[in-house]
Amino acid sequence: MTSTLEHESSKGKMGATWQFKDPATWTWYPPDSKPAPVHEKTAPVPAYPPMEQHKWIAPRALAPIYLHRVLFEFGVRMPWYAAFVYYSLAFLAFGDSMFKMLRRMGKKYGFFDGAVPRDGIPDVYTNKVAWSLVGVLFLRPLVATMWVYDANAPPGVSLWAPLQVSLFLVVLDYWFYIYHRSMHECKPLWFIHRLHHTTKHPNAMLGAFADNIQEWGDILLIPVLTWMVVPLDFHTWYLTTCYQAYTEAAGHSGIRLYWLVPATSWLRIFDAELAMEDHDLHHRLGNGRRSFNYGKQTRLWDKIFGTSRSRIESFEENIDFVNVARTC
């Protein structure tokens, strides 16, 4: 049971009242007022198959690539600035659809530690969160189109794309693990990450709630370091970025499912798969300078370096692999 102190600490710092005001005053993304189910922590947690997630992600991520291919076959060569606009708008559409899907899933299946409401976007930070999401949606495509885009390369991804996406995210998580753990355990760096941890029960949009320095690290530094180790062509990079963004948002949503990261779910063979509850526990129970579950795409590096923590609700014996979840 979550302590009263933990609840008050979370709600005191993450007060959000804008969603209870007249809907005419909402400026962006009004919430769904339908209550989510609340489950006992001992209730079985439905499994959410990775293939079900691939069926949702892949068509939405690949559609703009192959529409671009059609234009290419008709002789259209997009210059980098046109490609930036095109793929930014495609990524925006992907993100909007993703957030709506995550809200529907939460309303249907409930949340971990469900007796405590999820944190809202704080009144004083609504614009900051909005601009942070804009940064994720537009800065990554801007850098990629300027750096690796080739207008004369036929748009598409190879049959090796699943392996490339998975390898990229495993390496990305190595850099993220070092960066994330350093912000927790090196006292001079904690100020960068402290704001992000004022949410104890985050929602999907609060993945973008962070200090400006951390935002630059999340949006650009870690992906660029990874690309230097695992270089990708532009279109495989776009596919990978959709998978990465999906995991970053889902990992902060706290939906009560055994929800594995789809691109790295094969790590379950080594007991190193990352599930939805792992990052939720990092926020809820992790403290400032000593925490756990630092990975955001895998649990591999936490396992190797001894910073993994056992799950409370979605442990192996409590997972319902029969009545599996389906995408809403």
More confident residue, 10 or 300: 300
Average pLDDT of every residue of the chain: 87
Task: Select from 27, 52, 200 the least CA-distant residue to 119.
Answer: 200
Two tokens, residue 113: 């530690």
- In a domain? residue 40: no
Over residues 225-242, the pLDDT tens digits come to 999 999 999 999 999 999
Tell me which amino acid residue 11 is. K
**What is the rounded radius of gyration, in angstroms, for the C-alpha atoms of the chain?**
19
The DSSP secondary-structure symbol of 219 reads I
pLDDT category of residue 305 using cuts at 50, 70 and 90: very high
- In a domain? residue 11: no
- In a domain? residue 209: yes
The residues, any chain, with a CB within 8 Å of residue 171's CB and separated by 6 or more, are 226, 229, 230
**Are 292 and 308 in contact, with CB atoms under 8 Å apart?**
yes
Owning domain of residue 116? 49-320
Length of the chain: 328
- In a domain? residue 55: yes
Number of structural domains found in the chain? 1
Q: What pLDDT does residue 28 have?
A: 46
- In a domain? residue 305: yes
Taking residues 185-210, report their average pLDDT: 86
- In a domain? residue 1: no
Q: Helix (H, G, I), strand (E, B), or coil: what is residue 328?
A: coil
- In a domain? residue 39: no
pLDDT at 22 over 70: no
Task: Select from 195, 222, 191, 232 the least CA-distant residue to 296.
Answer: 222
The residues, any chain, with a CB within 8 Å of residue 11's CB and separated by 6 or more, are 119
